[in-house]
Amino acid sequence: MQLSAAHSDEGSGQIPVKGDRIELLQPHTGVRVRGTVFHVDQVQILVKWDDGRSESLRPGCAYRIVEA
């Protein structure tokens, strides 16, 4: 499995699409949570995390798109 460079949905030019796997980067804790993009629109990215939670990512969230 290969990881792309870290992206932010603010100005990165690369927005994930439905079905993409992403990894949320939380540098203050060192925890990296992975999930699958469920929905994308102009305001948010809805992700279903591997631990069963769902979350809407807002502008400024740092993430990586996990490439298979």
Domains in the chain and their CATH numbers?
2-67 (2.30.30.520)
**The total number of residues written for the chain in this structure:** 68
pTM tops 0.85: no
Other CB atoms within 10 A of residue 47 CB = 26
pLDDT in tens, 19-60: 999 998 876 777 778 999 999 988 899 999 998 999 998 867
pLDDT in tens, 45-56: 999 999 899 999
One DSSP character per residue, 1-68 reads -EE---EETTT-S----TT-EEEEEETTTTEEEEEEEEEE-SS-EEEEETTS-EEEE-TT-EEEEEE-
CB 65 within 8 A of CB 1: no
Given the structure tokens 């102009």, which residue do they identify? 42
